[in-house]
Structure 1
Amino acid sequence: MVKKKRILVTGAAGKVGKVVVKDLTSHGYDVFAVDRDFKEEPDMPNMTAELTDFGETLDALSSIGEDVYGRAEMKAFDAIVHLASIPHPREYSDAETFSNNMVATYNVFEAAKRLGINNIVWSSSETLLGIPFEQSAIESVPVKEDVKKLGSSTYAITKVLGEELAEQFCLHNPDMKIACLRLSNVMEEEDYKQFPSYNEDPTKRLWNLWSYIDVRDAAQAIRKAIETEFKGMATFIITNDNTVMEKPSEQLVREYYPNVKITGELTENQTLLSNEKAKRILGYEPQYDWRNFVK
Structure 2
Amino acid sequence: MRIAVTGGSGKLGRHVVRRLAEDGHHILNLDRVGERNEVQVFVDLSNYGQVLDVFLGLDDRHSGFDAVVHLGAIPAPGIVPDAATFENNMLSTYNVFQAARRAGIKRLVYASSETVLGLPFDVDPPYIPVNEEYPARPESTYSLVKHLEEQMARELVRWDPELSIIALRFSNVMDVQDYAAFPSFDTDAMARKWNLWGYIDGRDGAQAVARALENGRAGFEAFIIANADTVMRRSSADLAAEVFPKVEVRKKLGEHETMLSIDKATRLLGYVPEHSWRNHQPDRTTHIEN
Counterpart of 1:138 in structure 2 is 125
Q: Which amino acid aligns with 1:34?
A: L
Shift of 1:137: 3.2
Q: Which amino acid aligns with 2:220?
A: M
Q: Which runs of 5 or more structure 1 residues have no equivalent in the other structure? A: 71-75
1: distance between equivalents of 2:158 and 2:98? 13
Asked whether the equivalents of residues 86 and 100 of structure 1 are also in contact (C-alpha less than 8 Å), the reply is yes
Q: Deviations over 1:133-164 (max 9, x none)?
A: 1x123121110101221111111011000100
Q: Deviations over 1:36-93 (max 9, x none)?
A: 0231xx5433311111111011012122x543553xxxxx111100000000101000
SS at match of 1:47: strand
- Tell me which of 278, 284, 289 is aligned to 2:265: 278
Counterpart of 1:24 in structure 2 is 20
Q: Give me the CA root mean square deviation.
A: 1.1
Q: Deviations over 1:243-269 (max 9, x none)?
A: 011111111111110000000211111
Q: Which amino acid aligns with 1:81?
A: V
2: distance between equivalents of 1:52 and 1:43? 22
SS at match of 1:124: strand
Are residues 1:112 and 2:105 paired?
A: no
1: distance between equivalents of 2:20 and 2:38? 12
Counterpart of 2:52 in structure 1 is 58
Q: Which amino acid aligns with 1:125?
A: S
SS at match of 2:11: coil
2: distance between equivalents of 1:28 and 1:85? 26
Counterpart of 1:250 in structure 2 is 237
Shift of 1:202: 1.5
2: distance between equivalents of 1:263 and 1:10? 37
1: distance between equivalents of 2:124 and 2:233? 25
2: distance between equivalents of 1:69 and 1:79? 13
SS at match of 1:141: coil
Change (3 A) 1:229 1:129: closer
TM-score by length of 1: 0.93
Matches within 5 A, 1:230-269: 230-269=217-256
Are residues 1:67 and 2:60 paired?
A: yes
**Identical-residue share of aligned pairs (%):** 43
Asked whether the equivalents of residues 109 and 213 of structure 2 are also in contact (C-alpha less than 8 Å), the reply is yes
Q: Which runs of 5 or more structure 2 residues have no equivalent in the other structure? A: 283-290
Change (3 A) 1:92 1:251: same
Asked whether the equivalents of residues 52 and 103 of structure 1 are also in contact (C-alpha less than 8 Å), the reply is yes
- Tell me which of 176, 179, 201 is aligned to 1:189: 176
SS at match of 1:181: strand
More deviation in 142-151 or 187-196?
Answer: 142-151
Question: Displaced runs of 4+ in structure 1, greater than 6 A?
Answer: none
2: distance between equivalents of 1:225 and 1:157? 23
Asked whether the equivalents of residues 33 and 44 of structure 1 are also in contact (C-alpha less than 8 Å), the reply is no
Count of matched residue positions in the alignment of Structure 1 and Structure 2 = 282
Are residues 1:98 and 2:95 paired?
A: no
Are residues 1:11 and 2:7 paired?
A: yes
2: distance between equivalents of 1:27 and 1:49? 25
1: distance between equivalents of 2:39 and 2:228? 35
Are residues 1:169 and 2:153 paired?
A: no
Q: Deviations over 1:177-202 (max 9, x none)?
A: 00000000000000000000011112
1: distance between equivalents of 2:149 and 2:257? 29
Counterpart of 2:40 in structure 1 is 46
Counterpart of 2:117 in structure 1 is 129
